[in-house]
Structure formats: C-alpha cells, structure tokens
Chains A and B, each alone.
Chain A
Amino acid sequence: MQPEAYVAHHFPNLRQQEHAARLGMWLFLATEILLFAGLFTAYSVYRFLFSDAFKAASERLSAPLGTLNTVILITSSLTVALAHHWAHHGRGKAAAVSLLVTLLFAASFLVIKGFEWTHDFHEGLLPGRYYASTELTVTGAPMFFTVYFLMTGLHGLHVVVGMVVLSVIMVQCWLGRYDHGYVTPVELGGMYWHLVDLIWIFLYPLLYLI
C-alpha cells in the first residue's frame, strides 16, 4: 500500500497522523505510569513505616536473578528499538527477527519470575493473609511481600500484553507491511515495551536491593 493510503480522512497528511498517534500513545503511557505510581506509593509508605522489615524481607529475594531479569529486559528494549529502526528503513525481515528475539527475552523474563515466585511460595513468603513464613517474623514483613507480588504481578501482566502486541507486529513486519512511509504500529508497540522496561528499572532497586 502507498503510505498516503493509510491517512484517515480527518488528517490532512500522514505526518500529522503520525504526530497524533505518537501523542495519543504518550498520553496512554502517562496513565500507565500513574497506575504503577499508586503501587509505588503503597510501597513507599510501608517501606517508611517498616524499614527494618523491608530490609530483611528484601534479602529473601534473589538479587542475582533480579539483576539477570533487569539485563534481559534492557536488552529486549534494545532489540525492540532496533526492530523499529530496521522497519523504518524497510528491512522488514530483520525487524521481525529482532522482534522474535525480543519475545524470547520476554519469555525468559517470565520463566525466571516464575522460578522466583514458586521459590517464595515454598518458603511461605506469600501476600496478605497467606503469609506463612516461620523464619521471617519482623512486623511489616508480610507487607513487603504483598507489595512485591502485586507490583511484579501487574508488571508481569504488562509483559504478557506487550508480548501479544509485539507478536502481531512481528508477523506484520515479516510480511513487509512497514517501511519508512508507515511504521507507526512498530513505533507505538515499541513504546509500550520500553515503558514495561522503564517500570522494571524502578522496581529492581526498590525491591531487590534495599
């Protein structure tokens, strides 16, 4: 399709439409930031009130696995940026391969998260009223795990949604649907993925490295 064929009737040209799409995506990402801000507020209050408990509880998490997950997500952000770059230059197959690599990184992030969670379940470090650890009994420790599971859970949900979006875009890239005239879906899907990475960049030191 010629790029101009993608222009909806209420936009004067394609560049205007692109600008609108980008602004709309930023507005949506701002709401996502505020969504996580609510949970970060809960974290901040409980960390302030129970600082010793949070420190002790954070040591029960595996900092090496958390660091590995951070490296994985950062690298997946790189591959998404490269996919956008290559799609923009008309190299659809390279972009699709790059998105496939992103999806593999995302899947391994979820697998590692699964290992971490099951390990915590075995130790009785559960959220809310299910907390059952006999070793970690400082007042406030269960609040750490409530916040931990809620935040990483919501983040994991966003990873899954991002994977679905990127899969669709990957197929479209492979079929050569994007080039320098029209690459908006890759750009917007990429922005969503970068936001997922951004949130993890803050979750990692606050949860694992207290």
Chain B
Amino acid sequence: MATTTNSHSEHDRMEHARATRYWVVWVALLAGTVATFLLSRVHLPSPFNLLVALFIACTKSALVVLFFMHLWDHGGANRLVFATSIVFVTLLIGLVVLDNATRFTLTNPGRGPTLQMEPPGPDILTPRGPPEPATRPDVPPVAEPGRGAGIPAPEPAR
C-alpha cells in the first residue's frame, strides 16, 4: 500500500521523539496562563482585553493540539478534520454575534449596543447615518433655552 512508507516514517519519528518536548510545551502553557492572568489585571480597553485573551488561548490550544495531540507528527486528514471544525465554530459564533450586533436601535434587550444603523427608507441607495436626536423616539428632546428648568417635556398625544 502506498501509505506504508509514509506511516513508517511517521512511526519512526514518534519512536525517536524524546519526552523533553512535552515538558517544554508544559512550561510554555504555564507561561501563557500566567500571561493571561496578569494581562487581565491590567484592564486593557474594551475590544483588546478580549482579543488578547483569545489570542493567548489560541496559542495555548495550538501547542496542545500540535504536540500533546501529535498533530505535528501525524499530518493529513486529521489536520483537515480539526481545521474544518474550527472553521465551522468561527462561522457559528461570528455570524450569530454579527446578527445581534447589527440589529436596529431598541431591538436588543437591555438597551444593548447596536451598530446604530438607520433602516433603509424608500430610496435604499442613499446612505444614511443615525437619525438626529430630536427625531429619535427613545432619546428625550434637549430642553430649549427659553424653558424653565425642571418643567418636564409634554407627553406625546395618544
């Protein structure tokens, strides 16, 4: 079979590999854990805390997958299977979060953040930004200078 030569050299590589590589990877993983913990105490600004933590987690995972799970030694279909699962996880989480992130104002629970897109009007080719505060239903109108302080804005007619 054509696979036997390939499998013999893979097998020999595993046979001759020393155990030191596992200890080295272990130290690297511990260093990554310490780094994640310390960087979290630094309180980086908003998207970066998540991105840095995920980057370190991905690096640690790569080390575990490549060396502890021997994906470095055994190539081929195993790598494809693993990579495919990662692609689908990324699609799943990415698109679902994007769905939530691009909802219009007031459609997210808890007045959650949105990308502040105005729904397209009849002329959908004209780009629009967010509406002026005066015309938005959820933001109270700014008090005009002539008004007395503390007088509440009139209730909209029902």
Contact = CB atoms under 8 A, between A and B. Distances in A.
Given A15-B11, A85-B19, A206-B53, A71 B36 contact: no
B141 to A, nearest CB: 26
Interface in B87-106: 88-89, 92-93, 96-97, 100-101
A208 B67 CA distance: 26
A67 B33 contact: yes
23 contacts: A12-B1, A22-B74, A29-B85, A30-B84, A37-B88, A37-B89, A38-B92, A44-B93, A45-B96, A48-B101, A49-B108, A49-B109, A49-B110, A53-B110, A67-B33, A74-B30, A80-B68, A82-B19, A140-B110, A194-B69, A201-B64, A205-B53, A209-B36
B116 interface: no
Contact of A139 (B19, B53, B84, B110): B110
A40 B90 CA distance: 11
Contacts of B48: none
A71 B81 CA distance: 28
A25 to B, nearest CB: 9
Contacts of A118: none
Contacts of A209: 36-37, 40, 53
A71 B25 CA distance: 13
Interface string A26-66: 11011001100110110011001111010000000001000
Interface residues of A, number: 56
A26 B8 CA distance: 20
A74 B81 contact: no
A202 B56 CA distance: 10
Interface of B: 1, 3-4, 7-8, 11, 14-15, 17, 19, 22-23, 25-26, 29-30, 33, 36-37, 40, 49, 53-54, 56-57, 60-61, 64-65, 67-70, 74, 77-78, 81-82, 84-86, 88-89, 92-93, 96-97, 100-101, 108-110, 112-113
A26 B82 contact: yes
B61 A198 contact: yes
A200 B25 CA distance: 17
A78 interface: yes
Contacts of A19: 3, 7, 74
Nearest to A192: B69
